[in-house]
Amino acid sequence: MSSKLPKQKYSDLEYVSCIKNESVQRDLANVCFDYYFLYYKKVVHMDSWKVDIFQDSFSELWLELTEGDIYISNNNEICHKIWKTGETRKLECSLLTYFMSIAKNIYLAKFATRREISMTDWQSMRENSDDNSNEDFYSLKIAKDTVPTNNLKDEVVGNSVDSMSTRCRQILTLFYWEALSLDEILEKIDDISTKDALKTKKSKCMLTLEERVNKGLIQIGLKPYTKQKKNNNGYQ
Amino acid sequence: MDTNKQDLIDRFIRKELSEEEESNFKKTLIEDQEASENIELLEHTRRRLGARAMKDKLISWGFTEEKFQKEETTQSNKQIKLWVGLSAAACLVLIFMFNVPDNNSATDQLDNYNPPSFESPTVTDSLQSQPEITDSITPSKNELIDSLQSIMKNL
């Protein structure tokens, strides 16, 4: 898979250290796209998912870089921290190869969380599978048992986030991802005027999200999160 | 879950707690399954919201279905050009292989061809070789008289 690499403007070390710079992000996205375009058929067997898988995989790589899961050690080596276990390892492959492994995991998780696959998709998978990879193709049927639970939970939460209203997603993104204060969020949202109204809206959005996540987890046979209870005033 | 605990969880997720507050909070989580699960869900949610924000950015940068289609068209055109080039090269090789040379071949004829020497006469030469016009078309007076006399005799 590493026989043909797209030309990189920056080294892997530079990508890791300067990922907050938007032009570096964009360049990395271009390089990842070129690499993905060359090899995606070996990883993603459903053509209709190729764009989604690319976008999700790059977002995940970017997330790991910005969150410090991938970082530069004192020895000037790129290291990788495994989310949840906290274990740290030296990254033995290039960022592009790592990116493709993310794409493969996301594809398997996406596959495992979709219960119904259309005949067209099956046909497409068969046609795109290499002759010598039939074993991999059939093993996708039991992907749910082999994909790590955290990947599956991420996929379910990701789907639930995508299915939310734009307003809810905006409020939750500003609050949890950008970590803005309620006053700062109020300045960005026109139709909510008070802090209490914003707090209530945020709680309602979280409750809706939790319901959808739990439904998704039950569908694929995973344990749902403890359901939040409504208090006397409505939502928490 | 009471409002204070929810606020504390939110501050934990937003990384607003001091080291001491965080340490104390983590100790309480060991026995509080509901809070632990809520934190796990919020952490997943926070990361997915971040990923979604990047996905929106990618879409705004044009990493969409259209880019894939454009790239596929470019690759397809490159392949077509490559095939045309290869086919042309193959045709030339075939022509070269099956074109057995003989004495009458065009190349031989060209090699043996000796163009005739061609020397254009100089202008002065050609002019000198011409007879003088005055001599031929203006006979002398005596010649005319003699001719007339002979014609009269014959009559």
pLDDT at B92: 87
Contacts 24+ apart (CB under 8 A), A206-212: A206/A172, A206/B45, A207/A235, A207/A236, A208/A164, A208/A168, A209/A157, A209/A160, A209/A161, A209/A164, A209/A168, A209/A172, A209/B45, A210/B41, A212/A159, A212/A160, A212/A163, A212/A164
Q: Among the listed ranges A89-98, A119-128, B103-112, which one has the minimum average pLDDT value?
A: A119-128
d(CA A103, CA A37): 12
pTM for the model stands at 0.71
Flag whether residue A63 sits within 8 Å of chain B, measured between CB atoms. Answer: yes
> Which tokens go with A142?
């039991």
Please report the pLDDT score of residue B52 as a whole number. Answer: 94
Write out pLDDT tens, residues A42-80. Answer: 888 888 899 999 999 999 999 999 998 899 999 999 999
Report yes or no: A175 at the B interface, CB cutoff 8 Å.
yes
- How far is Cα B9 from Cα A231, in angstroms, rounded to an integer? 17
CA A87 to CA A42: how far, in whole Å?
29
Name the closest residue on chain A to residue B4, using Cα atoms. A236
Chain A hits for B65, Cβ within 8 Å: 51
Compare CB distances from A169 to B3, B52, B71 and report the shortest one's residue.
B52
Query: What would the two tokens of residue B4 be?
Result: 């204070």
Question: Residue A3: what pLDDT?
Answer: 53
Give me the residue from A54, A172, A226 closest to B34, CB to CB: A226
Sheet containing A88-90: give its strands across: A70-72, A78-81, A88-90
3-state secondary structure A103-115: HHHHHHHHHHHCC
Best probe of the A interface among B1, B48, B79, by most A CBs < 10 A, is B48
